[in-house]
Structure 1
Amino acid sequence: MIPPALTFSGARILLPEGVVQTDLCLSEGRIAGSCTGKRIDLAGYLVLPGIVDLHGDGFERHMAPRRGAMKEMADGVVASEAELAANGITTAVMAQFWSWEGGLRGPEFAEGVFRAIRQVRDSLVTDLIPQLRFETHLLDDYDLLPDRLTEWEVPYVVFNDHLPHERLAEGRKPPRLAGQALKAGRSPEKHLELLQRLHANGPQVPAALDALCAELHRRGVRLASHDDHSAEDCAAWQARGLRISEFPETAEAAEATRAAGGHVILGSPNVVRGGSHKGNASAIDLIAMGYCDALASDYHYPSPRRAALMLARSGLLDLGAAWALVSSGPARVLGLDDRGELSPGKRADLVILDAENHRVAATFAGGRVSYMSGDVAARFLA
């Protein structure tokens, strides 16, 4: 269905040149240069480009609200999309693990998540992009991965290494071993044995990653690294052709990525909290140093909007630059040049905020309503 033509008047609009009070025209799902159709009075509201979320795993509780409750995963995707839209997100990268952790982070669960996304995404308004987070030491799964990605229609892979290497190298039990084993459906002894075996794969991992990355590049898969700690980490990934670094743990890693022409993604919750919950580099500090291309929701969908507005209120960035970190910046990282700003010809992806309290009043993706609540709805229905 072709979205109706609309003209928004009376609102303050964030355009590429800054915030102005002007008309914004929507036609056939795109921003139009001339106005037709129904005129909507949005005085008292602020209209900004829709949020492009580069990495979020906050959907897990919708997919499996309790352990074992995973029978209607497609309904979980629908519920997740409603939450995304309610937070102004119009394009969402849904990050799912393939990890030794098992359970909700095992390959079987990943298959169910990606099947559910395929099943319903064409009937939803928010643009959903599946992403796989793959643990680097799972050498036995390397041969399976490329064909699984094709089968699951996953265009984006991030490489993680969450093994507690220091503890394993010292022969000590990792923290929370029993809890992890329970979630994975293993005994603590079997879980520790698996971790030790994967840790022992270490010397073989670099060469295996070289070959795997080359094959995934050949298939057109977008690749990123995760939790880079040092310039050496970044150089190794860059040698494999990776240009995206998610959540670098240090300023050194962020600087090395940017110096090599790569993209740095930071977590919005880090900004909102005023620091990393793990004690890593402060996102605010990295933004101040110019080492950030985009902010992602990570585990909390309200955070991109809140983080951008906090950065603007603090004076660290003006609103245009702050909001670009959740709109045009991430769109550029993903190679999506049809969205991220309110310019003629771009997709009509936008979020309408109450100008006083900055709560989300409505969200449009491709000119279609994905969320609307409260007083603003009366203006559209008048």
Structure 2
Amino acid sequence: MIINNVKLVLENEVVEGAIETEDGIIRRIGESPSRLPQALDGEGGWLLPGLIELHTDNLDKYFNPRPKVDWPSHSAMSSHDALMIANGITTVLDAVAVGDVREGGHRLGNLQKMIDAVINSQQAGRNRAEHRLHLRCELPHHSTLPLFEQLVDKPGVSMVSLMDHSPGQRQFASLEKYREYYQGKYHFTPGQMAAFEEEQTGLAQRWSAPNRTAIAAHCRRRDIALASHDDATEEHVAESAVLGAAIAEFPTTEAAAAASRRHGLQVLMGAPNIVRGGSHSGNVAAQHLATLGMLDILSSDYYPASLMDAVFRIAHDGSNAYTLPQAAKMVTLNPARALGLSDRGLIAEGKRGDLVLVNRHDGHIYVKNVWRQGRQVY
């Protein structure tokens, strides 16, 4: 597979040239175009490594497209995979919730179905992207640790995050924001909301600390990438570092992001936060961390198209010092390194031929073509 006339987004520079892959591997990068008749014309677009997504909840919405609607697994997985590839994402960690903030929530009901769909479709070779699993462990529940222990050795488990969405801390340090979010989500009356808040506070006091310690120990023994989630204080970050976390997912304050950097954790923020211009929970803005040079990884979270959009927004925003290669690393090389994947995340000879070609039209970035291991999948 040969592509001519592209702007190659390399590790530290952008160069105009051509690229050739063979047997799924990048074999040649050069400035002179190939004269072979099968060469494709990239029309001057940017060629980036395939994007690597560490935390997406997108699969969940296909299993439950509407309240009380359960969708067939094969169709849900196929639709999710198609959307990932259409947005240039060639390696996907599908985030599944282990434990739920509400007893009887649909996420727990769909958990095994989603895990089976990811594993079976990947093993059968039906997916266009490479799908792996990210276990999002909601800590304040008695069932979280036993369930995690059943799942941690499943094929493809590549990352675990430690989450605590109980009221008055981390993402929901503001009780007003907590009540606004969950009343809107579950349509609670004021009385139901008060009872729910009290219940969640009690569960967190009982289960969060022991579950956090035990799950982190499992990850260390298995060398699974561990992420903290919604750290808000320097104390939170220090605890995460001691437990062996390598990634700080969505720190909620500038102080927590700075502390994460000091402790050697890569700071991951949501690409929708960049596109929208701020956090929907009222926490620190990803763009603000970018202006301070404290942003390492981006995740599309709930909106896959945001990932590529955010890269170009950051690279062309004069308020920060990120070049396009530096911004691109947030969705390619940095997440690959966080997972210990040395075969991808970079356009270089000998690396996997995971590539995405993008063009700009009317000031907006569009994905034109995608290749995984040298085979065109979009």
- Residue 19 of structure 2 corresponds to 24
Residue 194 (structure 2) pairs with residue 199 (structure 1): no
Q: CA 1:154 to 1:188, structure 2 compared with 1: closer, same or farther past 3 Å?
A: farther
Partners of 2:229 and 2:343 in 1: CA distance: 26
| Structure-2 residue corresponding to 1:328 | 333
Question: 2:233 matched to 1:230?
Answer: yes
Q: 1:149 to 1:303 in 2, by over 3 A?
A: same
TM-score, scaled to structure 1: 0.85
Give 2:367's match in structure 1, choosing from 342, 360, 370. 360
Per the alignment, in what secondary structure is the counterpart of residue 32 of structure 1? strand
Q: State the alpha-carbon separation in 2 of the partners of residues 345 and 191 from structure 1.
A: 55
SS in 2 for 1:53: strand
Structure 1 residue 352: deviation in Å?
Answer: 0.7
Q: Secondary structure at the match of 2:220?
A: helix
In structure 2, the CA distance between the partners of 1:282 and 1:182, relative to structure 1 (3 Å rule), is closer
Q: Which runs of 5+ in 2 are unaligned?
A: none
- Which residue identity does 1:301 align to in structure 2? P
Cα distance change, pair 103–223 in 1 and its aligned pair in 2 (3 A): same
1:79 and 2:79 correspond: yes
2:255 aligned partner = 252
2:343 corresponds to:
338
Structure 1 letter corresponding to 2:13:
G
Aligned to 1:305: 308
- Cα distance change, pair 214–323 in 1 and its aligned pair in 2 (3 A): same
2:55 pairs with 1:55: yes
Classify the secondary structure of the residue corresponding to 2:260.
helix
Query: Which position in structure 2 is the counterpart of 1:242?
Result: 245
1:374 equivalent in structure 2:
none
Matched, 1:90 2:97: no
Aligned-partner SS, 2:65:
coil
Partner of 1:116: 117
Distance 1:299 1:142 in 2: 25
> The residue matched to 1:85 in structure 2 has which SS?
helix
Q: CA deviation at 1:105?
A: 5.0
Is the partner of 2:39 in helix, strand or coil?
Answer: strand
- Contact 1:12 1:47 (C-alpha < 8 Å) held by counterparts: yes
Alignment-derived partner of residue 377 in structure 2:
370
Name the aligned partner's letter for residue 337 of structure 1.
S
Q: Matched residues in 2 for 1:309 and 1:163: separation?
A: 35
TM-fit CA distance, 1:13: 1.5
How far does the alpha carbon of each residue in 1:80-104 deviate from its partner, in whole angstroms, 9 at most, with x for none?
Answer: 1111111111111111223133566
Query: Is contact 1:111–1:152 with CA below 8 Å preserved after alignment?
Result: no
Tell me which residue corresponds to 1:39.
39
CA distance, structure 2, for counterparts of residue 58 and residue 182 of structure 1: 22
In structure 2, give the amino acid aligned to 1:28. Answer: D
Q: TM-score, normalised by structure 2?
A: 0.86
* Partner of residue 354, structure 2: 349
Say which of 293, 298, 304 aligns to 1:295. 298
Shift of 1:64: 1.7
Q: CA deviation at 1:30?
A: 1.2
Q: Secondary structure at the match of 1:23?
A: strand
Is 1:285 the counterpart of 2:280? The answer is no
Give the Cα–Cα distance (whole angstroms) in 2 for the partners of residues 289 and 251 of structure 1: 9
Q: Does 1:318 align with 2:323?
A: yes
* Count of equivalent residues: 361
Maintained 8 Å contact 1:74/1:117: no
Distance 1:321 1:61 in 2: 32
Q: What are the Cα deviations for residues 58-94 of structure 1, in whole angstroms up to 9, with x where unaligned? A: 2332222122322412211110111111111111111
**Distance of 1:153 and 1:88 partners within structure 2:** 21
CA contact (8 A) 1:74 1:119 kept: no
Deviates more, 1:294-303 or 1:189-198: 189-198
Q: Secondary structure at the match of 1:359?
A: strand
Q: Which amino acid aligns with 1:238?
A: A
Supply the distance in 2 between the matched residues of 1:326 and 1:177 (Cα, whole angstroms).
30
Q: Secondary structure at the match of 2:96?
A: strand
For residue 7 of structure 2, the aligned residue among 2, 8, 12 is: 12
Counterparts in 2 of 1:73 and 1:273: CA distance versus 1, 3 Å: same
Please tell me the residue identity of whatever aligns with 1:240: L
Tell me if structure 2 keeps the 8 A contact 1:115–1:152: no
**DSSP 3-state at the match of 1:248:** coil
The residue correspondences of 1:93-104 to structure 2 (distance < 5 A) are: 93-98=93-98, 99-102=100-103
Which letter maps to 1:365? R
Distance 1:144 1:61, change over 3 A: closer
Secondary structure, aligned partner of 1:156? strand
Write the distance in 2 (CA, Å) between the matches of 1:289 and 1:180: 34
Partners of 1:71 and 1:287 in 2: CA distance? 39
**Contact in 1 for aligned 2:97/2:111 (Cα 8 Å):** yes
Identity percentage of aligned residues: 29
Question: Which deviates the most, 194-203 or 333-342?
Answer: 194-203
Q: Given the superposition, is the C-alpha separation of residues 195 and 37 from structure 1 closer, same or farther in structure 2, using an over 3 Å criterion?
A: farther
For residue 260 of structure 1, report the CA deviation from its aligned partner.
Answer: 0.7
Equivalent position SS for 1:280: coil
Give the aligned CA root-mean-square deviation in angstroms.
Answer: 2.9
Q: Using a 3 Å threshold, how does the CA distance of structure 1 residues 188 and 140 change in structure 2: closer, same or farther?
A: farther
